[in-house]
């Protein structure tokens, strides 16, 4: 075990566990404090671009996760009303060769389990369950996590990886509450055998409709299909993650949809939904104050229209560990550098995600113009327009 105090991490989700692993690989002890008694994830599908797969390789979990993933061969963008294809982008081997890593789709629970198992095996990582961190204290010598039951833990630093509804973002950083974006997401999983026969089970599909879109892709080695529907709606449903939703609610939103899309929406026996939230003020990146820093969704809630939320947490973890290893005796300076390095990247991703969300839900003549652009733009040019996103690597240029 390390002779120096550990880095405290609030939250044993994807970001918290990735941070613990990244730190431990640099020789730093990490103590993960998780409020749940069972840290297992449920969730549904998750897409991991090449930039995320590179980090998973560095964390040593890619090989264990790979058999449970799928590598979609293409991305088909469809008109959700007519059912006509608008364009198809090559993924599979094409994107793997372009960026040095595959584009994976997986079940969120499988990704989390791979990270958790690796963390539990590592001698420099301690995981404590039932530890609800509600506030923090930081001075020149230490950081302190204060739990709901009044107990305290001390460490070299405290990383708040406590998710979208972060208590530490609210209490230590005095952040304004998140606001409802006007959109809800609904998720379900179905066996691949129940996918309508006209649809390719080994590809990702996006269906664009007025004020709505749907995405589906293979998970668990292609045995299952993850389905996500996003609707523009005025009334906000329950604030938590994964509230049960009657299937009829989804069916009613697609009365004039393409037959394949409608058939797909009618497949799941159960749906879960959640409101999509955004920061009340402009996104400024990963915050740091003294020896306390925010990470992942706690730092930068990002709408899911680039499928990069979890991947941004993986990138955060890798950069934070590098910054702390560069100046281990200046913890506050390292965290400030981490926040500064990450800010332009997450701002760019947040803007692009918001823009996609607007484009997906267009209607009328402007939607027709969007469809024409998609039909007439070469697929290779569309793929190249995402090089800035998928081509990211941890490197010296990120540490300037």
- Determine the pLDDT at residue 79: 97
pLDDT in tens, 318-333: 999 999 999 999 999 9
pLDDT in tens, 69-81: 999 999 999 999 9
pLDDT in tens, 86-102: 999 999 999 999 999 99
> Which residue, among 360, 339, 64, 349, has the nearest Cα to 229 in the 3D structure?
360
Please provide the average confidence, as pLDDT, over all residues in the chain.
93
For 12-155, list the strands marked E by DSSP.
30-34, 45-48, 74-79, 85-90, 104-107, 125-129, 133-138, 143-147, 152-155
* Cβ proximity of 95 and 386 under 8 Å: no
- Determine the pLDDT at residue 397: 47
- Determine the pLDDT at residue 1: 41
Q: How far apart are CA 84 and CA 323, in angstroms?
A: 48
* Separation of CA 296 from chain center: 8
152 has a pLDDT exceeding 80: yes
**Domains of the chain by start residue, with CATH:** 7-69+105-175+281-366 (3.50.50.60)
- Determine the pLDDT at residue 184: 94
Dihedral angle computed from the Cα positions of residues 303, 397, 159 and 43, in that order, rounded to the nearest 10 degrees? 40
Between the alpha carbon of residue 290 and those of residues 7, 24, 137, 294, 314, the distances in Å are 14, 22, 9, 11, 22
User: How does residue 2 score in pLDDT terms, banded at 50, 70 and 90?
Assistant: very low
Give percent above pLDDT 90 in the chain: 85
Question: In DSSP terms, which residues pair with 244 in a beta bridge?
Answer: 272
Kindly state the DSSP code that residue 95 receives in the 8-state scheme. H
- Determine the pLDDT at residue 41: 75
Angle between helices 309-326 and 50-59 (to 10 degrees): 50
400 has a pLDDT exceeding 60: no
Q: How far apart are CA 178 and CA 111, in angstroms?
A: 26
282 has a pLDDT exceeding 70: no
Over residues 3-29, mean pLDDT: 96
Between the alpha carbon of residue 49 and those of residues 52, 104, 124, 125, 231, the distances in Å are 5, 6, 28, 27, 24
Lowest average pLDDT, out of 6-15, 17-26, 78-87, 237-246, goes to 237-246
> Which residue, among 209, 245, 248, has the nearest Cα to 230 in the 3D structure?
209
Which residue matches tokens 């026969």?
Answer: 197
More confident residue, 279 or 41: 279
> Which residue, among 346, 284, 20, 18, has the nearest Cα to 157 in the 3D structure?
20
- Determine the pLDDT at residue 234: 82
Over residues 117-130, mean pLDDT: 97
pLDDT in tens, 193-234: 999 988 999 999 999 999 999 999 999 999 999 999 999 988
Give percent above pLDDT 70 in the chain: 96
CA angle 219, 163, 233 (to 5 degrees): 75
Containing H/E element for 274?
strand 271-278
Over residues 49-64, mean pLDDT: 98
Q: How many C-beta atoms lie closer than 10 Å to residue 201's C-beta?
A: 19
Over residues 331-359, mean pLDDT: 96
Reported pTM: 0.96
Q: How far apart are CA 377 and CA 25, in angstroms?
A: 44
- Determine the pLDDT at residue 249: 85
* Cβ proximity of 27 and 2 under 8 Å: yes
Structure token pair of residue 93? 């081997």
pLDDT in tens, 368-384: 999 999 999 999 999 99
396 has a pLDDT exceeding 80: no
> Which residue, among 344, 76, 21, has the nearest Cα to 198 in the 3D structure?
76
139, HSE (Cβ side, Cα atoms, 13 Å): 3
- Determine the pLDDT at residue 58: 97
284 has a pLDDT exceeding 50: yes
Q: How far apart are CA 215 and CA 229, in angstroms?
A: 6
Kindly state the DSSP code that residue 81 receives in the 8-state scheme. T
19 has a pLDDT exceeding 70: yes
pLDDT in tens, 134-151: 999 999 999 999 999 999
User: How does residue 167 score in pLDDT terms, banded at 50, 70 and 90?
Assistant: very high
240 has a pLDDT exceeding 90: no
44 has a pLDDT exceeding 90: no
Length of the chain: 400
Containing H/E element for 231?
strand 224-232
Q: How far apart are CA 65 and CA 325, in angstroms?
A: 27
């Amino acid at each position: 075990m390390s002779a120096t105090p550990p880095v405290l991490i609030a939250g044993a989700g994807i970001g918290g566990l990735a941070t613990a692993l990244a730190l431990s690989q640099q020789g730093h002890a990490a103590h993960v404090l998780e409020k749940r008694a069972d840290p297992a994830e449920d969730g549904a599908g998750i897409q991991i671009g090449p930039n995320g797969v590179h980090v998973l390789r560095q964390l040593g979990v890619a090989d264990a996760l790979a058999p449970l993933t799928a590598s979609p061969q293409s991305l088909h963008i469809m008109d959700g009303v007519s059912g006509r294809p608008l364009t198809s982008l090559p993924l599979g081997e094409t994107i793997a060769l372009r960026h040095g890593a595959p584009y994976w789709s997986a079940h969120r629970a499988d990704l989390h389990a791979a990270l958790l198992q690796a963390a539990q095996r590592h001698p420099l990582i301690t995981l404590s369950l039932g530890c609800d961190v509600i506030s923090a204290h930081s001075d020149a010598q230490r950081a302190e996590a204060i739990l709901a039951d009044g107990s305290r833990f001390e460490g070299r630093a405290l990383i708040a990886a406590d998710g979208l509804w972060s208590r530490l973002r609210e209490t230590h950083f005095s952040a304004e509450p998140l606001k409802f974006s006007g959109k809800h997401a609904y998720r379900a999983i179905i066996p691949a055998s129940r996918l309508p026969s006209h649809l390719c089970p080994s590809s990702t599909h996006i269906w664009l409709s007025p004020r709505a879109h749907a995405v589906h892709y293979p998970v668990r080695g292609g045995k299952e299909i993850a389905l996500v529907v996003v609707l523009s709606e005025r009334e906000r449903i329950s604030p938590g993650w994964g509230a049960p939703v009657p299937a009829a609610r989804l069916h009613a939103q697609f009365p004039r949809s393409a037959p394949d899309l409608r058939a797909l929406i009618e497949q799941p026996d159960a749906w879960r939904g959640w409101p999509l939230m955004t920061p009340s003020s402009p996104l400024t990146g990963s915050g740091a104050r003294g020896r306390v820093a925010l990470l992942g969704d706690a730092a930068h809630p990002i709408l899911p229209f680039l499928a990069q939320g979890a991947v941004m947490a993986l990138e955060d973890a890798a950069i934070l560990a590098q910054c702390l290893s560069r100046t281990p005796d200046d913890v506050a300076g390292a965290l400030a550098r981490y926040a500064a390095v990450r800010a332009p990247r997450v701002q760019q991703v947040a803007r692009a995600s918001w823009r996609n969300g607007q484009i997906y839900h267009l209607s009328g003549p402007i939607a027709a113009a969007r469809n024409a652009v998609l039909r007439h733009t070469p697929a290779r040019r569309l793929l190249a327009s995402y090089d800035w996103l998928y081509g990211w690597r941890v490197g010296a240029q990120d540490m300037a």
